[in-house]
Structures are given as structure tokens and as C-alpha cells.
Structure 1
Amino acid sequence: MPEPDTVAGALARFRASASPWLALPFFTDGSAERVADAVDARRAAGARVLPAPGQVFAALALTPLPAVRAVILGQDPYPTPGDAHGLAFSYVGGRRLPASLKVILAEMAEETGSAPPVSGDLTPWARQGVLLLNAALTVEAGKAGAHLKLGWSALTDQAVAAVSAGRPAVAFLLWGAPARQRAALVDPGRHLVLEAGHPSPLNRRADFRGSRPFGRANAWLREKGLEPVDWRLA
């Protein structure tokens, strides 16, 4: 199937996948089409929308609902062309790693005893059942947060609630105020909720480093008799 050149086209291709995520109200009540049309209207008006249409639903495509065992939430894609590819915090650009991702990977390396990875591509996490979902699946070049009010947040809320209701034991790693607000959507009796400050170096409280989310999540998964996540990025 050729790569879609619009978000509406990407949505149609995602629908053809018969993903379990398609049962969310976002995909059944017309919301998905309204948001896709709004994003494509910005593209038609000359805005450079990121990531490429074919990558917009990458987080859901790579991590189906029945496979989720951990959740990490971001805000929106990196606003520099070529950096984002549809997974929260994941980076495929050719420059140095984004500051927040560098902090995340340094914490991971310290916890796992591995060398800090050179690559920022978190696809291996997604393929292991780590849902890397942004609150907005699109952004405009040079305009962080540009699409936060287009309606994508309903998808994020519904996905979190669906994981909470439909999965037996999931580790939710919620970093920063927007992500932590979604803790209210998670059943703490069934799932692990690990809250911490945002990994950005601009976080004055610096309350992400030392929170040890990766080791704590894996220890809990083992207690539940589940396979831990291999967080290392070789």
C-alpha cells in the first residue's frame, strides 16, 4: 500500500489494519475524521505538519492494545522536520539527542548498567509493548504545541482509560504535569502508576533523575509474573 499523503489517508490506512484501538470512541464517533480534516486543512494552508502522515498513528500501530504492558506519555512530536516519527520522546533526527530524551536515556543507562545509547529511536520499546503516545499526534514545524487543541487529547484519554480497563497489569510512567493529570484515568488497584517530574533540564525541581522508573516498572512486572521490558537500546 503506498504511503498516504494526508492525515485522512493515514487514518483510512489505519482503519484497514483492523487494530483493536479502532474500538475507541475517537474512531467510532467521527472525532478521528474531524481531527484529520483539521490537520489537513492546516497543511493545505501551507503549514508544514509533522511527522509525515504515514507515521501519525505509529504508536498505536506498533503497540496494539492487547500487547500493552507499559505506557509513557508525551506532549506532542518534535517540531523540527526529520526528528519525530510518531512515538513519544523517540527521535530519529541527525543532530544531537533532544535534551529531555538525553536525560531519559541517561537514567535508563544508569539503572540498567548499560552505556548511554547513541540512537534515540525508541521503536524497540514500542515493539515490546511500551505504548509511547503523545497528547497530540501532530505538530507544526517550529511551533511546539500547535495542535494540542485540535482534539487529539480525546484519543490519549480514551487510550489510557482503555488500557486501564482492558489490561490486567500495566506500568504507567507519567512524567510532568500533563501526563500526571491522566493518573486519574488509571485503576491503581490493578496497575502501577509511577509519577515523576518532566525529564526536561528546564524542570527546576529536577525531580525526574533518580526516580528509577525503569527498574521499578520491571520489578513490579516480575512480581506480577510478567516479562520485564528490556529498556536497553543497543
Structure 2
Amino acid sequence: MPDPQVPAAWADLPFFRQDWPGIAARLTERDWLPGPGRVFAALELTPPDAARVVLLGQDPYPTPGHANGLAFSVTPQTALPRSLKNIYAEMREDLGAAPPNGDLSGWARQGVLLLNTSLSVLPGQAGAHAKWGWDKLVRQAVARAQAERPLAFILWGAHAQKAVAGLPRPQDLVIESAHPSPLSARRGFFGSRPFSRVNDWLRARGEAPIDWTLSETSVAG
């Protein structure tokens, strides 16, 4: 299995000197997801000077062929996971439309940093690498992006809120709600209108809004 390539724009983070060598050595021991070609996809598609929104997930989907390295995102041919179905349902209520498939690369290319708090997982074993130290990368990446501009944080559920606790500043937008999982979506996720709220904030700053209804296919076309 080839070695993952560290994205040049983020390579100065202390994580890549101090923590990544040890994690990389452990990853060589067996197959893992999303694999070396996609493990840093979120950082590759959204460099620090382009990041405008931070949206955190937990870890990649553990089903082979589903995860594409972006939080909540799946490969275009994959049926929507339940949480993503709820995200799209809320988006339709909020904006009137949603992407045609589950690939969120189009968001990432517009400045939505779609980071999982763990960037690797074992097939069929959700959370297997949750305590490997990936969380250090998340906090460092967020702080690096904050050095460029104010950010909008979309924090769904206690896990995401804890992952960046203490990092949002007064000039940042913070939208917190329940997680879109079927277990919790009706406890405050539905009706939270995060997509229009982020776009209203961006417009007020003189920035272009995110076109949330795009997918990788429509962006490429």
C-alpha cells in the first residue's frame, strides 16, 4: 500500500512532525479506510487559506467503498447513509434543494473543511482508531485556518463540540445542534437551518455564499 502524501499547504503543522510518523507506522499493519489516497482528502481539497466553514464528523464510514475522506461524505454511487439523509432533508427545508448524491467534494472546493476527528478506521469497526491521536490534527488544522480569517463552525452533536472546545472566537460563527443521526436529529437538528445561517453570515462579511446543493458531479460539469 503506497504511503499517503501530506498536503503541502498543511505540512507545517506540528502534527505531521510529532504524531503522524507513529500513526503512519500503525496503519501499515493492516487494511484500513479510506486508504492512503483519500486519508487527507479534506485537507487537500480545502487548504487553510481557502477554509471558510468547519464541519466536523467522527470517523470514516467503515464499509469498504463508501468513505471518500470527507466528513459525512460518501462516494457518488453509494446510497445515502442515514445521517446524510437527514442532513439533506434539513437542507431541503432550509434551501429548497439538496445535492443529487452523497459526494460532498463540491462543498470542500468552496471552502467547507469537512474534517473527521479520526481520519482512519478499520473495515467494519467504527471508531477503531478514535484514540490514535488524530484529534491533535483537527485542532491544529482549525487553528491554522483561523489564522487566515474568521470561520463558521457547524458543530453537530457533543463529539464535534468537544473536539474544538475553546477554539471558536467572538469573530467566528458557531452553530451547535444535535447530531443528524436518526437517534438524535429530532432533538434539535431538524429546524436548525445551518446552511442558510452560514450563508447569511458569509454575505454579511462580503463573501460569496456556499452553494450547498452542488455535488462533485455538478461542480465538475
Q: Identify whether the pair has TM-score above 0.5, normalized to the shorter chain.
A: yes
Are 1:199 and 2:180 counterparts? Answer: yes
Identity %: 52
Aligned partner of residue 173 in structure 1, secondary structure: strand
Which has the larger displacement, 177-186 or 81-90? Answer: 177-186
Q: CA deviation at 1:127?
A: 0.4
2:58 matches 1:40: no
Q: Please show how residues 58-137 of structure 1 align to structure 2 within 5 Å.
A: 58-92=41-75, 94-114=77-97, 116-137=98-119
Decide whether the 8 Å contact of 2:150 with 2:172 is kept in 1.
yes
Match of 1:161 in 2: 143
Instruction: Decide whether the 8 Å contact of 2:61 with 2:67 is kept in 1.
Output: yes
Contact 1:84 1:93 in 2 (8 A): no
2:8 — aligned with what? 18
SS in structure 1 of the partner of residue 181 of structure 2 = coil
Whether 1:50 and 2:33 are equivalent positions in the alignment is yes
Aligned length: 215
Closer/same/farther in 2, CA of residues 58 and 95 from structure 1, 3 Å limit: closer
Distance 1:197 1:171 in 2: 17
Q: Which moved more, 1:125-134 or 1:186-195?
A: 186-195
Name the SS for the 1:133 alignment partner. Answer: strand
Letter in 1 for 2:177: A
Does the CA contact (< 8 Å) of 2:76 and 2:103 recur in 1? Answer: no
Q: Name the amino acid aligned to 1:121.
A: D
Partner Cα separation in structure 2 for residue 224 and residue 37 of structure 1: 43
Q: Which amino acid aligns with 2:23?
A: V
Which of 180, 202, 211 is the equivalent residue of 2:192? 211
- Of 118, 121, 126, 1:144 maps to 126
> Taking structure 1 as reference, are residues 230 and 118 closer, same or farther at Cα in structure 2, changes over 3 Å only?
closer
Runs of 4+, deviation exceeding 6 Å: none
**Counterpart amino acid of residue 37 in structure 1:** A
1:28 aligns with one of 10, 17, 27: 17
**CA–CA separation in structure 2 for the residues paired with 1:105 and 1:124:** 14
Query: Which residues of structure 1 form unaligned runs of 5+?
Result: none
| Contact kept? 1:74, 1:88, Cα under 8 Å | yes
Relative contact order higher in (CA < 8 Å, ≥ 6 apart): 2
Q: Which moved more, 1:183-192 or 1:63-72?
A: 183-192
AA partner of residue 8 (structure 2): A
Describe the SS at the equivalent of 1:120: coil
The 1:140/1:217 distance shift into structure 2, 3 A limit, reads: same
Secondary structure of the residue that 1:65 maps to in structure 2?
Answer: coil
* Distance (whole Å) between structure 2 residues aligned to residue 219 and residue 51 of structure 1: 34
TM norm structure 1: 0.87
Letter in 2 for 1:57: F
RMSD (Å), alpha carbons = 1.6
Q: How far has the Cα of 1:223 moved from its partner?
A: 0.9
Change (3 A) 1:205 1:87: same
Report deviation, 1:205.
5.3
CA distance in 2, matches of 1:121, 1:207: 25
For residues 119-150 of structure 1, give each alpha carbon's deviation from its aligned partner in whole angstroms, at most 9, with x where no partner exists: 00000000001000001111011100001111
By how many angstroms is 1:168 displaced? Answer: 1.9
